[in-house]
Structure 1
Amino acid sequence: MLVSRNKATNSLLRSEKKSLFRFLTLYVAMVIFMITLLSLFYYQSQEKLMLSDQRAMLTKYAYIQTRRLKVLHHFFDERTEYPRDPRFKSAIYDLEHMKIFSLLQDENVRFDDEEIYIINDHIHLVKMLDEFYLGTKYLIIEVEDSGEWRGEIWKNIVGFGFLAFILFILFGLYLAKLFLRPMRNSIVLLDRFIKDTTHELNTPLSAILANIEMMDTDVMVEKNKTKLARINIAAKTVSVLYKDLTYLTLDQEKENHDEEIEIKELIYNRAEYFAVLAQSKHIECNLDLEEAGITMDRRKLTRVIDNLISNAIKYNKRNGTVGIQLREGLLVIWDTGIGINEDKIPFMFDRYMRFNNSEGGFGVGLSIVKKILDEYHISIEVESTEGEGTRMVLRW
């Protein structure tokens, strides 16, 4: 069982929003990954360019230090001080990578394929000597890395990366509009069709209902009574649909005429209106009503009650039950019908959303219900178990 408090749908249906959210999430993730990858390549290329520039200077320092080591090697008996230079630090290692002498600030020397590398804000050049002066095979030249090049790189990455991100997002929104346009066009076309056809339904429907009420059933044979009951059921079903479509296309823009409404009396009247429809499916109606009032437009409250009761009957099983419970600030309408899968509950208030193709309707009733309830700050909770029934709980 799942309880769902659904938000009102505005310009986009929830299904549209979900599709748009999924597309943009995947698109943004791909954009971020691509920008990150390009930034990494740019950083590495700039780092290699910087090291290439440093290599020439450090090679020059290595040449100077090698000449000093040569002099020290040949005059070791007279000179025992390791040559120093204010421009760089140096160290000497033997063939086995054992340290002979070091002035390095960072002793983490890497004897691998990299001749020059950055480590802990220092740049090392590893120079292999052809002659073993003082037993030296590896001469390490170290200079400090100021980090200025790194700051310039990050400034470029952040600046151009942000600009590229904005451009890609704008392009993504354009793609999303193209992606949703067929769905939106279909909805607009359906809205237009409903608006055009609604005007043509009123006169014949009113005539059918009026003539049904005027017929004298006492003089009819039982066979004709059954046929008339079927016509009455069909006409009232179409009447509810017509009122929904009229509200959707015309009435919702009208100014509200709020008044204090006795809900108990209104529910009795609407339950009696749908009695014929309930009897056709042998559905029992349990009413547990107490006095309760609410201030709102009677026309809109009627639309809410009609849709909830008609759905409870429409999606019920034969010989099922519809229950209505009314308390002050609480209205519960439940049924023992087919229920709904919990994954579909969040979408049941979307316009044109239908979950049972065997029943009629455009899928606008619950959308109207949710819009009216949101307008009057009335909460609705949906509890449904597939195959067992549905329970609508309204609180104000």
Structure 2
Amino acid sequence: MLQEKRQILQNYSNDLIFRLKDLHVNFDKTNIYPRDEKFQSAIFDSDKKKIFSTLKSQNVSLDDVIYLSGNQIHFIKEPESYYLGSKYVIIEIPDDNIWFENIKYKMILGFLLAFLFMIVIGYFISKLFLRPMRDALHLLDRFIKDTTHELNTPVTAIITNIEMIDKDLLDEKLAKKINRIEIGAKTISNIYEDLTFITLNNQILSNNEEINLSNILKQRVDFFNSIATMKKIEFETYIKDDIFIFCDTKKISKLIDNLLSNAIKYNKIGGTIKVVLTKNSLSIEDTGKGISQENLDNLFDRYTRFDKSVGGFGIGLNIVSLIAKEYDFKIEVSSQIDVGTKVKIRW
């Protein structure tokens, strides 16, 4: 900026020195100090004492040629002769900041262009690097969908045929074996339904209707009773009759199944599961390991597991959360370590 102003100031100083020379020669005719609306000026003697000044800035340095003082630009020049006793001539013009505005806009424009360029490059690079991961996830998704589809028929066939067997006609050893097969088949069936729900991203169309929640809850407790028996877990049910709710039968069954499955999975051997159904709520309480307070906030996150010793995919409670959000159910969870966990659904 100073370099750009130097030539202008040089011209102003030459003009002033010419006028000083004229005043010096004709001082007996006129003694008016030369002024100009384009600049301010001052003259100093050889001892650097001010002779006369119209400068706005009082901070004057005679050791530099050109410098910035506040918002004023000063230019120092020495005349070839001591006109009016002056050894130093100072020219002053305001710093109009136009140069800074130009640079500022150039910087902003350059930054925006560079930022846009980096976004475009970053987009293509990220696509390039994420393509293998995206392809792998696509293959995994297809594998899960194909696997769950293939599992449906044999699992359904196993459960249907087991339910048709009259266990009272079997001897004790064979009845135990059949019971183990039933438990395994039901476990696989529950996992299949969870995976189907997740892979469809909760896009299953809801066939909402008035359903008897009391009957459905009793059926689901009976379904899981054989699995609970393997861990010597007993159900304590307090189910009020004829509680009706407007929702999809499959989805409310899936919600109940995941809560009961977790209550069995994380319960202790010989524990109990308390199931209570009232007009506006369903609560399932176990006597298991419990959940720490810091883990309760992430309880419904997908693939979250706090106990690695127990099997599972970490998707059961996430499905419960998705179904609850769809029907505007409120979920309340309270838990104590080594005491148990209680999950309450309100509507």
TM-score, length of structure 2 as denominator length: 0.76
Higher alpha-carbon Rg: 2
**Within-5 A mapping of 1:347-366:** 348-350=300-302, 352=303, 354-366=305-317
Partners in 1 of 2:67 and 2:38 — Cα distance? 17
Determine which of 317, 327, 337 is the counterpart of 1:376.
Answer: 327
**2:64 touches 2:76 (CA, 8 Å); kept in 1?**
no
Partner residue, 2:207: 257
The alpha carbon displacement at 1:267 in A equals: 1.8
**1:126 touches 1:138 (CA, 8 Å); kept in 2?**
no
Change (3 A) 1:113 1:251: closer
Q: Deviations over 1:57-96 (max 9, x none)?
A: 1122234434555676788888654432222112356789
Judge which range, 279-288 or 378-387, deviates more: 378-387
Partners in 2 of 1:177 and 1:317 — Cα distance? 48
Is 1:342 matched with 2:291?
Answer: no
The alpha carbon displacement at 1:192 in A equals: 1.1
Partner residue, 2:74: 125
Determine which of 224, 242, 250 is the counterpart of 1:274.
Answer: 224
Partners in 1 of 2:189 and 2:247 — Cα distance? 23
Is 1:193 matched with 2:137?
Answer: no
Partners in 2 of 1:373 and 1:181 — Cα distance? 35
The alpha carbon displacement at 1:360 in A equals: 3.4
Partner residue, 1:47: none
The alpha carbon displacement at 1:151 in A equals: 4.2
**Within-5 A mapping of 1:84-233:** 84-92=35-43, 101-109=52-60, 115-117=66-68, 119-120=70-71, 122=72, 124-127=73-76, 129=78, 139-178=89-128, 180-213=130-163, 214-216=165-167, 219-221=170-172, 226-233=176-183
The alpha carbon displacement at 1:298 in A equals: 0.4
Unpaired runs of 5+ in structure 1? Answer: 1-49
Partners in 1 of 2:240 and 2:47 — Cα distance? 97
**Within-5 A mapping of 1:4-83:** 50-66=1-17, 68=19, 81-83=32-34
Partners in 1 of 2:200 and 2:336 — Cα distance? 35
Q: Deviations over 1:334-372 (max 9, x none)?
A: 44435267368448433x555544433444434433333
How many residue pairs match? The answer is 343
**2:75 touches 2:92 (CA, 8 Å); kept in 1?**
no
Partner residue, 1:330: 281
What letter is aligned with 2:207? H
Change (3 A) 1:185 1:384: farther
**1:341 touches 1:386 (CA, 8 Å); kept in 2?**
no
Change (3 A) 1:52 1:322: farther
The alpha carbon displacement at 1:286 in A equals: 4.4
Q: Deviations over 1:7-50 (max 9, x none)?
A: xxxxxxxxxxxxxxxxxxxxxxxxxxxxxxxxxxxxxxxxxxx4
Judge which range, 237-246 or 78-87, deviates more: 78-87
Partners in 2 of 1:290 and 1:118 — Cα distance? 89
**1:111 touches 1:126 (CA, 8 Å); kept in 2?**
no
Unpaired runs of 5+ in structure 2? Answer: none
Partner residue, 1:297: 248
2:55 aligns to what SS in structure 1? Answer: coil
Is 1:313 matched with 2:260?
Answer: no
Partners in 2 of 1:329 and 1:240 — Cα distance? 26
**2:67 touches 2:74 (CA, 8 Å); kept in 1?**
yes
TM-score, length of structure 1 as denominator length: 0.68
Change (3 A) 1:304 1:177: farther
The alpha carbon displacement at 1:301 in A equals: 1.0
What letter is aligned with 1:125? H
Partners in 2 of 1:392 and 1:318 — Cα distance? 20
Change (3 A) 1:194 1:111: farther
Greater RCO, 1 or 2 (C-alpha within 8 Å, sep 6+): 1
The alpha carbon displacement at 1:185 in A equals: 3.2
Alpha-carbon RMSD:
4.1
